[in-house]
Structure 1
Amino acid sequence: MSRVRVMIWAVAPAGGPAAVEAAYHEISAQLVGTPGLLGNQLMRAAHDPSRFVVVSEWTSMAEFAAWEQGSSHKPTTSPLRPLQDPDRRPVIYEEVAAYDESGLLADAAH
């Protein structure tokens, strides 16, 4: 099984990026201990501080799908939903290959 990364784009409202950051922190606190979730990051566009992407990493597509189809998914992620970028759909990527910090090819199957 390959690791999976899920990317969800968000746009800050006119009031500034605090709404996106607050929603991200609220959701992340609720996701602690979720089976299969290895972690997540909130990334801000370097040249447009109103644009964000949340990247979450999962142990496998099966673990992500189980969580996504579970009863807690929608209520847990609801704070970010109104801030999602309407022009970009969430994307799921499966890891094909990866190198570690020493330049060695890491096992993509983990």
Structure 2
Amino acid sequence: MEIKKGAWVQIHYIVLNPEERASHLPEDTKKVPFEVRIKGFLEDEEAEIGDIVTIKTPIGRIVKGKLEKVNPKYEHNFGEPIPELLKVNKDKLPLSEDRGEKPPA
């Protein structure tokens, strides 16, 4: 699939390889590279997934990396639910009730 200049894309690049990471990091963190995925507008005239390309981010930064996706979505989450945290304050009243306020209907 040929992707044209100006397309909204996502690239990937490695900032630091494992051996370049700071020594004070946890062991499991030090074992993996520090990677970046960033979205922007394709600056190259044309490209295909897997090509090394240049993009321009919405704030104007010029960044080079391996083309991963075309029209990527904005996605963010905080990972899998942690069962122990789901139980925190389960037995407590909502804050609005603690202050004598009526909860919204």
TM-score, structure 1 as length reference: 0.23
Larger RCO of the pair (alpha carbons < 8 Å, separation 6+)? 1
Which entry has the higher C-alpha Rg, 1 or 2?
2
TM-score, structure 2 as length reference: 0.23
